[in-house]
């Protein structure tokens, strides 16, 4: 049994993306790790960051982002597919560049891959998610944030990334078009086993000024085809990102992945965060702050509603 890890990345240095610890968190359990590097800005040092990873397992490839044919965040799905196609393992561990895996799950993951290796009915594995926000000690437990997602799939040519690369689907016909990535025709959800393991998501842990840069790039990408809408959204983005009062979130008291140790020690924006007090009236409320989602959150955690409501791009099976 061979395991490949894979991801894509672009402008990791400029956008404060922990791509090095992200990859290093998965390296111990894979036989190879494929990273597809996009056409970075000239002043970005992503290439040098990746070359500093001391492992013969790491294989660096390059691509140019075709934003003409893959508009908005669909480009993420296309880049994911290109990286996937370079993998040679039986199982493929997909980790996004702002995610990390805790080492306490290594044995559990390996044993499950071995257990289901010959059971072709199992097409992937589902992980629970821990979404950190603002700093590394507060996280989202809200219905507005996806609680689970697929991060291990079989190396099947008919399995492709879906929508904005959040998950995967099995396709009966696929031509690498925008419609293929976004539509529900000619595809189905994967049959997956849910693992008792978490993915730590650090996409919401950036210095406020760099979170603003990330949000501007996202808006420009999402609404690039609609210039007026894009300009309107960009005008509404403050110079420094306002995460809101963190005391309304869950407090994290456990350990982070060892690979993230140095990255977390570089935390320097504590004084720019709001740890208590009211929500600012000068910005639009986040999804998780709205009454609808605050009411749905406790309901979504009650069995059987846990598996009935919310985003669920998978079919859970028992194996």
Report the alpha-carbon distance of residue 7 to residue 35 in Å, rounded.
5
Can you tell me which residue has the tokens 């005391």? 247
Q: Which tens digit of pLDDT belongs to each residue from 69-120?
A: 999 899 999 999 999 999 999 999 999 999 999 999 999 999 999 999 999 9
Work out the average pLDDT over 286-315.
Answer: 76
In degrees, to the nearest 5, what angle opens at C-alpha 219 toward C-alphas 214 and 221? 95
Write out the two tokens for 233. Answer: 């959204």
**Nearest alpha carbon to residue 86 among 61, 119, 58:** 61
Q: Which residues contact 86 (CB under 8 A, 6 or more apart)?
A: 6, 34, 36, 59, 61
Dihedrals phi, psi of 39, to nearest 5 degrees: -80, 85
CA distances in angstroms from 35 to 50, 93, 96, 169, listed in the order given: 9, 12, 10, 21
pTM of the model: 0.91
Q: What confidence score (pLDDT) does residue 217 get?
A: 57
Burial code (b: 16+ CB inside 10 Å, e: under 16) for 16-33 equals: bbbbbbbbbbbbebbebb
CB 261 within 8 A of CB 152: no
Beta bridge partners of 110: none
Q: Specify the higher pLDDT residue, 293 or 242.
A: 242
DSSP 3-state assignment of 81?
helix
**Nearest alpha carbon to residue 259 among 6, 22, 4, 9:** 22
CB 92 within 8 A of CB 152: yes
Write out the two tokens for 287. Answer: 């999804």
Q: What confidence score (pLDDT) does residue 226 get?
A: 43
Q: Which tens digit of pLDDT belongs to each residue from 127-178?
A: 999 999 999 999 998 888 889 999 999 999 999 999 999 899 999 999 999 9
Work out the average pLDDT over 117-125.
Answer: 97
Give the confidence band of 239 by pLDDT, cuts at 50, 70, 90: low
For residue 104, give the DSSP letter: G
Q: Which tens digit of pLDDT belongs to each residue from 32-75?
A: 999 999 999 999 999 999 999 999 999 999 999 999 999 989 99
Report the alpha-carbon distance of residue 152 to residue 126 in Å, rounded.
7
For residue 22, give the DSSP letter: H
How many C-beta atoms lie closer than 10 Å to residue 129's C-beta?
Answer: 17
Q: Specify the higher pLDDT residue, 216 or 114.
A: 114
Query: Average per-residue pLDDT in the chain?
Result: 90
DSSP labels, 205-258: -S-HHHHHHHHHHHHHHHTTT-HHHHHHHHHTS-SS-----GGGSEEP-SPPPG
CB 27 within 8 A of CB 36: no
Report the alpha-carbon distance of residue 93 to residue 56 in Å, rounded.
17
């Amino acid at each position: 049994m061979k395991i490949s890890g894979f991801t894509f990345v672009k402008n990791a240095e400029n956008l404060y993306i922990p791509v090095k610890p992200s990859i290093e968190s998965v390296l111990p359990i894979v036989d190879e790790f494929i990273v597809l590097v996009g056409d970075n800005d000239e002043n970005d040092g992503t290439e040098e960051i990746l070359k500093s990873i001391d492992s013969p397992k790491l294989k660096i490839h390059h691509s140019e982002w075709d934003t003409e044919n893959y508009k908005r965040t669909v480009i993420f799905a296309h880049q994911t597919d290109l990286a996937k196609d370079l993998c040679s393992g039986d199982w493929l561990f997909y980790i996004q560049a702002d995610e990390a895996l805790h080492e306490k799950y290594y044995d559990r993951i390996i044993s499950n891959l071995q257990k289901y290796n010959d059971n072709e009915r199992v097409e992937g594995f589902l992980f629970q998610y821990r979404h950190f926000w603002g700093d590394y000690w507060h996280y989202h437990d809200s219905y507005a944030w996806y609680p689970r997602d697929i991060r291990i799939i079989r190396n099947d040519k008919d399995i492709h990334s879906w929508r904005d690369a959040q998950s995967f689907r099995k396709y009966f016909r696929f031509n690498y078009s925008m419609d293929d990535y976004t539509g529900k025709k000619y595809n189905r959800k994967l049959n997956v086993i849910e693992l008792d393991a978490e993915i730590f998501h650090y996409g919401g842990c950036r210095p406020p000024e760099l979170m603003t840069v990330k949000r501007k790039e996202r808006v420009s990408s999402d609404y690039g085809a609609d210039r007026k809408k894009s300009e309107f959204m960009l005008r509404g983005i403050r110079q420094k990102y306002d995460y809101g009062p963190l005391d309304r979130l869950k407090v994290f008291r456990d350990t982070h992945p060892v690979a993230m140790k140095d990255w977390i020690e570089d935390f320097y924006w504590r004084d720019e965060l709001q740890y208590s007090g009211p929500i600012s009236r000068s910005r639009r409320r986040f999804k998780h702050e709205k009454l609808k989602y605050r009411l749905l959150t406790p309901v979504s955690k009650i069995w059987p509603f846990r598996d009935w409501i919310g985003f669920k791009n998978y079919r859970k099976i028992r194996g």
